[in-house]
Amino acid sequence: MKLKELNLISFGKFQGKRIRFKEGLNIIYGENESGKTTIHNFIDGMFYGFLRPYVTRRYYREEYEKYRPWGRESYKGVLRFSKDGIDYRIERDFRKGEVRVYEDLTGKDITKNIDAGERVKVHLPGMYFFDFNTTVYNNTVSIKQLGNRIDSNLSAEVKDRLANISTSLDDDISVKDAISQLDKQLESIGTKNAYTKPYGKALRQLKGLMEERKEILQKREEYDRYIDESYILRERIEAKRSRIKKLEEDLKKVEILGAKQKYDEIMNIKKELKSIDGKIENLKVYSKLSFDDYSKGLKLDSDRGNLDREIADLSDRLKGIEYELAEIGIEKDAKVIDGIKVDKLYEDMDRYDEMDREKNELIMSSRKNRLEILNSRLLDMEGKLKRSKNQRLVSILLTVVLLVLGLLNPMIMFASPLSTGLAFYFNGLYRRNKEEMEGLREEITRNRLEEDEKSNKIQWINKQQDAIMKKYDCSSKTELNRLYEDIRLKFASRKDRESRRRRLKADKENLQIKLEVKRKQKQELIEEMDLLMKKNSSTTLDEFKKGLKKKNLYDSLLKDRNGKKEILDNLLGDTTLEELKNKAHQYDKAYIDGAEDMDKDLILADIKEEEEALSTLTNDLTRLEERIDGLDKAVGNLVNIEEEIYRLEQSIQYFVDRIESINIAKAAIEKISEAIHEQFAPDINKWVSKVIYRVTGGKYDRISISDDLDITIENPITGEMIDVDSLSGGTIDQLYFALRFSIINSIEESSLPLILDDCFIQYDNERLRNILKFLGEVCEDKQILLFTCHRREEEVLKELGLKYNLILI
């Protein structure tokens, strides 16, 4: 196998990092914290996903969280390699827990061919391509910094691989798997105390069935006693049923006799109903007469009498008013006195007084004084304006002169700002005075116009007042007032007579309206009475009264008829007349002999009492039969229980025999495994001795490896075997490196890569030279990836003249 390329898309500190390897020896150099271990672990993660071995659930090693990128969602990578002449590509998304494997050349997805494992059901490309789990991988192919000691689980894995090689050379056959399968079979059978497993469950079921069998035997006696009691109850029930049948026969006789009597009574009632129906038909014409209408007719007749009296009273009062109006007579035009129209005089006087008030207001609001004041202010303002104009002109001339002189003498220029300021001041003063004077002129013009309008208005008022006095031939306001008072007094006297005449006339009109209303009301009452009489088929109230008496008789007959029909319905009940007739026809004097002396209620009471007693006996029998049925099922189940007890005893014996067979098989396989170690131990010892001889420069050449892969070494001086822990750290590293290298060559025929992460930091220069020389020879058949943070490996390789591919991180 050859690793070709790593693509750390998003892994640890790397993002989009690509690293390409070559065949032979690859030196990956980087300073401390540059990411060498990250790259080393990336290879492990791509093949095995950082999953812990030997667990039944998906548990990750701490590296899974350690290399999760900070601040990035993505956590993935790609690894390309070749094996047996075929290029492959692994794509893994660590965050989603997804992995895909492709043939790189064709792009064929072969993920489904990858073993998903027995326990966690996750595709592990490492198991497929290396043919061993992560424990073997991290103890053989991959060696980390200060990690030369082997894992405790490696011994079992190596034994399993050696057993395959020594027996069938078929990797599908595994000693470990065989033992595991036998253990699974033992686990599936269980123990005596494992009640959820078949063996323990069968023992528990057998115990329960034995107890149940004992209880059933006790219940059989109770079952026989209940059967005897049920026979006695059935005899008593049969006697009760016979008694009830006899009572029901007596009840039938009484009911037939009652039906005969009831039928005869019904027929008599029907005959009476026929007679009543004839009388009702004759009186039906009076059925629609209304007592309310009769009461209403009486009220209408009374109201008509009252209206007649009111009409007579109104007529007398109307005649009296007409007599008074005739005495007053017809007055001439009340609004003209001495040839003067009163209304017009009143109107002219009001207008005269209004014009007087308006004229006084105009005189009081005269603005002549204001005009005099404004004219005086205008004269003053014209003087101010003239002075400010002269001052402005002088300041402007002064400023111009100073500017001209300043051109000749610069000292004079200092006075120019003062003159300029004065010029601006007087110019502003002139403009303010001019604006104020223009405002005064506008106000004077406005006041003059208002005064002219008032003068014209006063002249017009005087003309109007003169016209009014001339109209009434008066020379002064006093004479006009005297005329007004004289006409007013005369008009008041005439007005009183006119007022009385109008009042009498209004009273006459009101009486005429009331009289007309009363006459109309009387006519409406007459018409309403006619309709009422017509509705009740009468011409007078007396005739109406006689008809109501016949209606009372009609209603009484109806009530009597309804009462008899109710009696008839009660007699029939839910039975039709035809059914009652048929039952009455069953009447046989001989059959019902003695029924006259029987009481139906007593018979019904006896039947009820007997039925209740029967119900009690039946319930007792039912409960007894339920107990019998319950016991019957239990007693009847005795045969099934005994059969099940026999079956369980056979199953338990089978489990006992099976457990014994499995334990014998396990012992045999474990014995074979020990024999295999004895067979291969010399070869492994030979390989380790050969490698350690090379890497130690011939210092050590005899090594012994135990069944648990513990190392002992022969002291070259004394010849005694010493424990590896008594040696120096560098020597220990060399020994375990030799052991790992020997193991991988023993359990795997194909050439796998060797990945070393700063494994030689405890080596002195001589040891480093020996190990690199050895690796230089091995790398002709095996790809080696050596991660280091030191330059001495490169220097030694150059000194030895060995080829290598340098990769800088």
Report the pLDDT value the prediction gives residue 419, as an integer from 0 to 100.
Answer: 66
- Residue 354: alpha-carbon gap to chain centroid: 85
SS3 sequence, 76-141? Answer: EEEEEEEECCEEEEEEEECCCCEEEEEECCCCCECHHHCCCCCCCCCCCHHHHHHCCCHHHHCCCC
- The CA-to-CA distance between both ends of the chain, in Å, stands at 24
At residue 392, what is the residue type? R
For the stretch 703-746, pLDDT in tens is 777 766 667 777 777 777 777 666 776 677 777 777 777 777 66
Which pLDDT band holds residue 396 (cuts at 50, 70, 90)?
Answer: confident
The mean pLDDT of the chain is 79
Span 567-618, pLDDT tens digits? 877 777 777 777 767 766 665 666 666 667 778 788 888 889 988 988 998 9
Distances from the Cα of 768 to the Cαs of 24, 246, 761, in angstroms?
18, 124, 9
> Tens digit of pLDDT for each residue in 235-252?
888 998 888 888 887 777
Residue 375: its pLDDT value, please? 77
- Domain ranges within the chain, ordered by starting residue: 200-284+576-636, 292-323+499-556, 366-473
Q: What percent of the chain has pLDDT over 90?
A: 16
In sequence order, the β-bridge partners of residue 60 are: 51
- pLDDT at residue 444 greater than cutoff 80: no
Which 3-state string (H, E, C) describes 474-525?
A: CCCHHHHHHHHHHHHHHHHHHHHHHHHHHHHHHHHHHHHHHHHHHHHHHHHH
491-549 per-position pLDDT tens digit: 676 666 677 778 888 888 898 888 899 889 888 888 888 888 887 877 887 877 787 78
* Degrees, nearest 5: CA angle 9-11-15: 45
Rg (C-alpha) for the chain, rounded Å, is: 72
Q: How confident is the model at residue 45 (pLDDT cuts 50, 70, 90)?
A: very high
**SS3 per-residue string spanning 246-302:** HHHHHHHHHHHHHHHHHHHHHHHHHHHHHHHHHHHHHHHHHCCCCHHHHHHHHHHHH
d(C-alpha 742, C-alpha 725), whole Å:
20
pLDDT tens-digit map of 634-664: 777 777 888 888 888 888 888 888 888 778 7
Contact by Cβ (8 Å): 13, 33: no
The length of the chain is: 809
pLDDT digits (tens, 9 = 90+) for 219-228: 777 877 888 8
DSSP summary character for residue 52: P
27, containing H or E segment: strand 25-29
Q: CA dihedral defined by 385, 387, 390, 396, rounded to 10 degrees?
A: -80
pLDDT in tens, 316-340: 888 888 777 776 655 555 567 667 7
Contacts of 23 (CB under 8 A, 6+ apart): 2, 783
